[in-house]
Amino acid sequence: MPETTLLAVSGIRREFGGVVVVDDVTFTVSGGEAVAVVGPNGSGKTTLLRCVVGADRADAGHVSFAGRRMSETDPWVRASVAAALDDLEFFPDLSVAEHLSLLAYAHGTPDVDAVDAVIVDLGLDGVRDQLPPTLSSGQRRRLALASCFVRPRRLLVLDEPEQRLDTDGRRWLVDKLLAEKAAGTAVLFASHDDEIVSRVADVRVDLER
Amino acid sequence: MRRLRRGHRHGQWADRAGDVYVIVLALIVIVGLVASSVHRVPVGALRVGDVPPLAATCLRAAAVLLAAGTVTLVLRTVGPVYAGPAGQAWLLATPGDRARWLRPRVVGLAVAATAVGALGGLALAGVGLRLALPGVPASGALVVATGALVLLGLAMALLAGQAADAVRPLRPSLPSPPDGARVDEPTHRPDWPRAVGRLLLAAGALVAAGAIAANGSRTGGIHIGATVSSAVGGVMVLAVVTIAIVSATRGIRAAGALDRASLTAGAALANSAMAATTSMDPSFLFGFVEARRLRRIGRVRRRRLVAPGPITAILVAETRRLSRHATVLVVFAALVGLPYVCAIVLTPVPVTLVRVLAGYVAVNGMAGGLRIVSRSAALRRSLGRTDGWLRGVHLVTPAVAAVAYVVATAWAGRTYPLPLDLLMAAGVLLAVLRAATRPPMVYDSAWLVTPFGLVPVGLITQVVRGLDLAIVVAVIFAFVIR
């Protein structure tokens, strides 16, 4: 049974120069629950997720996390929300393993074995000593996902996490998201993959125009 | 085909001549303005009277070597030969004789580089003669010849450098040969233009250190006569001309072997430079060059990141990152020496100006982590904590660098009490923080109408953010705190 509401999104609206991209979107996500945002290209999935985590400012509406106003600069929110959107960056001169270890340390959970396990799970073991500019786009995508799993989180926000993952990778992703739900993490993700959505999501938010 | 192309070019020559005329006119106006400004500078008030001849000779030699090394490395990075989009689409994709197309262009580029180098040498010589050191035998012609030929030689050397890089065989992962089979290992040629550039820089640094030592020990008793100066200059000129001729020959011969990757790599860098110039945002170019450098490094030695807590973990990561930027450390060391070199010939006021501005550049180089964290909201979200906490932790490295810099340069022309140097360190650090926290460029800012046309005041203030505060600190220490 889902826990109490962790994330509450109410009446979110975002427009760019008169073009409405996200129009009056409302939903909630509870602990242990997964909400999938679906829709065709250009329907505003990424924009919605960016407004939710505070990377973009909505023109109208309200986002709250655990009863508090969601503020991107709030350290409590940063400690609780792990997001892998399209703008994630890395230190270009730290190796994959060093970057992930640094994130774990920064959040106060320096578990070397856990970091190693995430590196292996996401197929980054062969590139753990490589610098980010040398990674392929798929490997960078995996590193972005890994960045979310090496640190504590109560809410996981992922933008098309299945991108650039092969069949085994997608299978792993499904199992991982189900495990996150079982651990009580709230999951909000955008996806084009019907199989992942059907197996993981408890609620669908359809942005199809 | 040629007749059709010639017919198409009717009228284009007049347009091209017009463009060349405008460019030359603009250059003459700018050079004239700079020359008249330099002429008005009261050199006598800025220059010390008694410069030991040995130190002066070492200074000139060091300046030539350092300029030679810097230009070599910069040109080696840029690579002067590249194919634009039309060339890539048509000429590189055809089975035609690439050498016949490239060689005339390489020769033309060499001639143009020679002319630019000679003009640059003349300009340097002009400044050098303007700042003629008293008591040192006149060697104006030597300065002119040395300056011009050094730049000529370097321009030539880099043409060969790119060609040599292109024909260097790759190191493929060879499968294990069957029993009895012989596999020829590909030879790996060294990157000699980069090695030459580093050698020139190292030589220049050593000679500059010699100048500082000579000035410090006041070994003015060692009189360097005109004959010795000319001999030293002559040897340098001979060496540079030899490098130039050998390099130019190699470069022109190897022009036909330039492959597509070599020609298009230069185009990518040229495009980044153009984007940086057009948008007045140097991060376009620096980011591209940095990414290319890191791709060249590729893989690093595996070392676990171990620290007692988050702050030390970030500081350990900063140290690791600096260890992969050897150039930053070398530049820092060089900028520590710069005020001492200037103190040989300049009075304390300009030396203080140089000290503060060089300190800003040196410390700014150590603030890479601060810059990355300040400019990436996504990375700050990922790392957690507050923005202030993250910036504060990443300010530790530049703060240490600022204090180290002022301590290391404390004996270069300082006329005020030593504890005030801590204020200088704080001022430099604030300037670096201001530069690192520059927000994204805004292009709809104020423009000023001037006799020279529209000047983007708003853009300029954004570009010089950080440097503006460093200049204020320099002026305060040079003219107020004395």
Give the DSSP H or E segment for B198.
helix B192-217
Nearest CB to B294 within list A78, A87, A92: A92
> CB of B309 within 8 Å of any CB in chain A?
yes
Note the pLDDT of residue B417: 85
Mutate to test the interface with A, among B381, B387, B394 (most CBs of A within 10 A): B381
Q: Could you tell me the pLDDT band of residue B17, with boundaries at 50, 70 and 90?
A: confident
Residues 345-384 of B with CB under 8 A from A: 368-369, 372, 376-384
Chain A, chain B: beta-carbon pairs less than 8 Å apart = 114
Sign of the torsion formed by the C-alpha atoms of B474, B476, B479 and B482: negative
Choose the closest CB to B379 out of A73, A79, A89.
A89
At position B27, the amino acid (one-letter code) is L
> Residue A186: its pLDDT value, please?
96
What CA–CA distance (Å, rounded) separates A49 from A43? 12
Predicted local distance difference test score (pLDDT) of residue B56 = 72
Please state the ipTM of this predicted complex: 0.91
Kindly list the residues of chain A whose beta carbon comes within 8 Å of any beta carbon in chain B: 53, 55, 72-73, 75, 78-79, 81, 83, 85, 87-95, 97-98, 101-103, 105-108, 110, 112, 128-134, 147, 151
Ranking A63-72, B57-66, B129-138, B278-287 by mean pLDDT, the lowest is: B129-138
- The winner for highest mean pLDDT among A34-43, B71-80, B156-165, B281-290 is A34-43
CA B434 to chain A, closest CA, distance in angstroms equals 20
Give the distance from CA B482 to its chain's centroid: 32
- Give the confidence band of B409 by pLDDT, cuts at 50, 70, 90: very high
Q: How many CB atoms lie within 10 A of CB A151?
A: 23
Give the distance from residue A136's alpha carbon to the nearest chain B alpha carbon, in angstroms: 12
When the pLDDT of each residue in chain A is averaged and rounded to a whole number, the result is 92
Read off the DSSP letter of residue A25: E
Residues of A in contact with B385 (CB under 8 A): 75, 78-79, 106
Would strands A5-16 and A60-65 be described as parallel, antiparallel, or unpaired? antiparallel
pLDDT value of residue B102: 72
| pLDDT: which is higher, A191 or B46 | A191
Mean pLDDT of B115-139: 58
- pLDDT confidence of B124, banded at 50, 70, 90? low
User: What pLDDT, in 10s, does the model give residues B195-234?
Assistant: 877 888 888 888 888 888 877 766 555 555 556 666 766 6
Report CB contact under 8 Å: A73, B382: no
Higher pLDDT among residues B142 and B315, named by residue: B315
pLDDT tens-place string over residues A74-83: 999 999 999 9
Which residues on chain A are in Cβ contact (under 8 Å) with B298? Answer: 130-131, 134
What is the CA B435 to chain-centroid distance, rounded? 19
Structure tokens at B302: 């595996």
> Are B302 and A129 a contacting pair at CB < 8 A?
yes
Q: Percent of chain B at pLDDT above 70?
A: 62
Contact indicator for B159, B80 with CB cutoff of 8 Å: yes
Going by pLDDT thresholds of 50, 70 and 90, the confidence category of residue A1 is very low
How many CA atoms are closer than 13 Å to the CA of A81, on its beta-carbon side? 32
Work out the average pLDDT over B427-437. 95
Report the alpha-carbon distance of residue B348 to residue B46 in Å, rounded: 8
Shortest CA gap A200–chain B (Å):
24
For residue A73, the chain B residue with the least C-alpha distance is B386
Listed in sequence order, the residues at least 6 apart from B190 whose beta carbon sits closer than 8 Å to its beta carbon are: none
Q: What is the pLDDT of residue B144?
A: 52
Render pLDDT for A114-168 as a digit per residue (tens, 0 to 9): 899 999 988 899 999 999 999 998 899 999 999 999 999 999 999 999 988 888 8
Question: Tens digit of pLDDT for each residue in B374-400?
Answer: 999 999 999 999 999 999 999 999 999
Q: Is the pLDDT reported for residue B242 higher than 80? A: no
User: Which residues does chain B have within 8 Å of residue A110's beta carbon, measured at their own beta carbons?
Assistant: 307, 313
**Three-state DSSP state, A11:** strand
pLDDT at A110 over 70: yes
Nearest to B384 among A78, A95, A128 (CB): A78
The pLDDT of residue B27 is above 70: yes
Whether B326 has its CB under 8 Å from any CB of chain A: the answer is: no
Shortest CA distance from B319: residue in chain A: A94
Mark yes or no for CB contact A91/B369 under 8 Å: yes
Is it the case that residue B438 has pLDDT exceeding 60?
yes
Cβ(A177)–Cβ(A187) under 8 Å? Answer: yes
**Average pLDDT value for residue range B178-202:** 63
- What secondary structure does DSSP assign to B162-179, as a single string? HHHHHHSPP---PPPPPT
Min Cα–Cα distance to chain A from B295, Å:
5
Averaged confidence pLDDT in chain B: 75
* pTM flag (> 0.95): no
Flag whether pLDDT at B83 surpasses 80.
no
Residue A89 has its nearest CB partner, among B291, B305, B376, at B376
CATH of domain A5-206: 3.40.50.300
pLDDT at B473 over 80: yes
Q: Do A134 and B294 touch (CB under 8 A)?
A: yes
> Is the pLDDT confidence value at A99 over 70?
yes
| Contact of B165 with B262, CB cutoff 8 Å | yes
Measure in Å the smallest separation between the Cα of B15 and chain A Cα atoms: 41
Domains in chain B: boundaries: 17-46, 50-168+192-258, 308-482
- Mean pLDDT, to the nearest integer, of B127-143? 51
